[in-house]
Structure 1
Amino acid sequence: MALTYGAYTACLQDRPLSAALDVLKEAGLTGAEVNVGGFIPSPHCPVDALLASAAAREDYLGVFESKGMVLSGLNTSGNPVSPLPNEGLKHAEDIRNAIRLAGLLGVKEIVTMSGTPGTDPTAKYASWVVNPWNGIDLEILDYQWSVIVPFFKEIDALARDNDVKVCLELHPRNVVFNVPAFERLVEETGATNLRVNMDPSHLFWQQMDPIAATKRLGDLVGHVHAKDTRIFPGVAYRGVLDTDFGHVPADAEGRTPTAYGYWCSAWPQDPAWRFVAFGLGHDTDYWAEFLRAIKTADPDMNVNIEHEDAEYGNVEGLKLSAANLLAAAAAV
């Protein structure tokens, strides 16, 4: 039994699947996670065609086999409970299709998010409650939990029927963004097939400890994204709940979509924190300890790099992350 080290291919969506797998293999990785819906396109997985045809699925898996790679996860991170119809309804169906497709392909886990509803049944936009010191915010949270609990009861049942684990990112702008919220979701849904996608990068900026969180969750960790975060001097006056982001023009090159007509905002020039290539925020010793905790939770865990460091090109950054991840793995 051993951890499988791979990468999420979203950063390589400018090239076909076969070429993307070549990059991963050259970096010494053996697993690949592909996008199948949600916020970003899915050029490496023709979902509808694969759902419709056993022959197409066999051919698709053959691409991975021919490269000596394992298909180690399907990703459909989005907002499935958004009040925006072009976001919520679409992303919810993307999750359902991801579960069905994972079951047909023999993939045991998908990655997604809990999402965030609006403030009430009449809301047009999602609203993330961060610190509900005001009782009004507790009423908003009560409504939001009344939306996500039945939704994830349905999703959990579908996942159970397809022998798939649904692994949630503890990600900003989601109702479930920390360990207690995930534990509450499991308790209130009675879920058997919900897990956490342990992505340390989203925990670091919240001043959480990914190793402690992993040990607390234990076998409720179902998937890992190997991604790092660095805290910058700007945190001294911005704090980590900074809203000083900017609009990105509709014609900007390389913008990242989040829904129809929406995309990721521009980062502050002097940020409090940002995502960095794996190993550039924390050293090898730290990551070796993290991997030991992951191995204790599940010795067969899929650990996939998610490269989102804008300071490096996609291939350059992925290979740097892979070298650092494999160095930490060798120290376990």
Structure 2
Amino acid sequence: MKLGAYTACLHDRPLDETLKILGGLGLTSAEINAGGFIPAPHLPIDDILAGTGAREEYLGRFAQAGIELTGLNVNGNPLNPDPAVGPRHAADLHRAIEVAAVLGVKRVVTMSGLPAGEPGGRTANWVVNPWDSQFLDILDHQWQVAVPFWKDVNARAAAADVKVCIEMHPQNLVFNPPTLQRLVEQTHATHVGAEMDPSHLFWQGMDPVACVEHLGDLVFHAAAKDTRINPANARLYGVLDDRFTRTPADANPLGLGGRNTLNQWPTNPAWEFVAVGRGHGVDDFWVPFLRALHAVDPDIAVNIEHEDQAYDQVEGLRLAAENLLAAAAKAGV
């Protein structure tokens, strides 16, 4: 098992400094962004694809730091009907598969995407609970859009000998194990499976260990990010807490493609992302979670994704790494 971090939280630092930080925390794996919602400052994509020796120089920096490059991340919405977003995110995914093949990286992490609810629509539409037949009509249309796209992605991945790992994320067509299995079955995919991020499963009420055991060898890759449910707030707002607000322009909102930006969380959220161990205990959850992943693939990469607002970049990574490494030691993996 390879334990490391997704470097998005250190995008303001040079790659060599980032790798040094990971090594200093006892981590040996890195996942690098390759486009999608956020840019790729740690990956010289054009140089690597040009075949001018950039591949060897780039991988040499990882070897020197004692870090293995275990994944490229291109989370975005490749099915977004907005012409300023979907086509670019789809192109980023296609290119990430190409770059991964050149680098010898076997995992590309992404999201399934989410189309409009009807032909000609311009806004992505997530159906949460299709109790009314009109919502099943929306889902029928969305799957008709998604299946050909993902058949093509699977073909590209198979040709490149790369596994595409879908993060089961709300606001996507694939957000839980059954929808992941549906995508794999309807596309007859051989190189598309799951990136197991427990944080997005926790707040939906799922058991990530049970999800790993259920999906089995469809689990290709994993993230180490925790979620804390805040009971006093959840009692009033539920897990579908919608009290997000727009980020003011003078606060430099994070762009997500086109005109879209990241909104601000409620000040008293029903749930929030936290560092490994701050939502679920090392012994109670993280040890059995790592054991379940190890049973599926002893060489699987588990990379920390730091989004805990209570800690800065490095301290959040440090806390997560300490707890993740402790869980691995206790799990014997």
TM bracket (short chain): over 0.9
Q: What's the counterpart of residue 167 of structure 1?
A: 165
- 5+ residue gaps, structure 1, are none
Pair 1:70-2:60 in alignment: no
Return the alpha-carbon distance in structure 2 between the equivalents of residues 66 and 125 of structure 1: 45
Q: What's the counterpart of residue 251 of structure 1?
A: 250
Within-5 A mapping of 1:268-287? 268-285=266-283, 286-287=285-286
Return the alpha-carbon distance in structure 2 between the equivalents of residues 262 and 329 of structure 1: 38
Return the alpha-carbon distance in structure 2 between the equivalents of residues 179 and 57 of structure 1: 35
The TM-score, its normalising length taken from structure 2, stands at: 0.97
* One-letter code aligned to 2:295: T
Q: State the secondary structure of the residue aligned to 1:125.
A: coil
Q: What's the counterpart of residue 235 of structure 2?
A: 236
State the Cα deviation string for residues 211-261 of structure 1 (Å, max 9, x = none): 0000001110000000000000211011111211101112314x3321133
CA shift at 1:270, angstroms?
Answer: 1.3
Q: What's the counterpart of residue 137 of structure 2?
A: 139
Q: What's the counterpart of residue 323 of structure 1?
A: 322
State the Cα deviation string for residues 155-208 of structure 1 (Å, max 9, x = none): 000000000000000001000000000111111000000010000000000000
* One-letter code aligned to 2:103: L
Report how many aligned residue pairs link the two structures: 329
Return the alpha-carbon distance in structure 1 between the equivalents of residues 85 and 314 of structure 2: 30
CA shift at 1:304, angstroms?
Answer: 0.2
Q: State the secondary structure of the residue aligned to 2:249.
A: coil
Q: Taking every aligned residue pair, what percent have the same amino acid on both sides?
A: 55
State the Cα deviation string for residues 86-122 of structure 1 (Å, max 9, x = none): 2100000101001111011000000000010001121
* One-letter code aligned to 1:299: P
* One-letter code aligned to 2:161: D
Q: State the secondary structure of the residue aligned to 2:194.
A: strand
* One-letter code aligned to 2:315: E
Q: What's the counterpart of residue 100 of structure 1?
A: 98
Q: What's the counterpart of residue 181 of structure 2?
A: 183
CA shift at 1:54, angstroms?
Answer: 4.5
Return the alpha-carbon distance in structure 1 between the equivalents of residues 250 and 55 of structure 2: 36
Return the alpha-carbon distance in structure 1 between the equivalents of residues 3 and 26 of structure 2: 9
Q: What's the counterpart of residue 213 of structure 1?
A: 211
Q: What's the counterpart of residue 10 of structure 1?
A: 8
* One-letter code aligned to 2:151: K
- Spell out structure 1 runs of 4+ moving beyond 4 A: none
CA shift at 1:134, angstroms?
Answer: 1.1
The TM-score, its normalising length taken from structure 1, stands at: 0.98
- 5+ residue gaps, structure 2, are none
Q: What's the counterpart of residue 19 of structure 2?
A: 21
Q: State the secondary structure of the residue aligned to 1:251.
A: helix
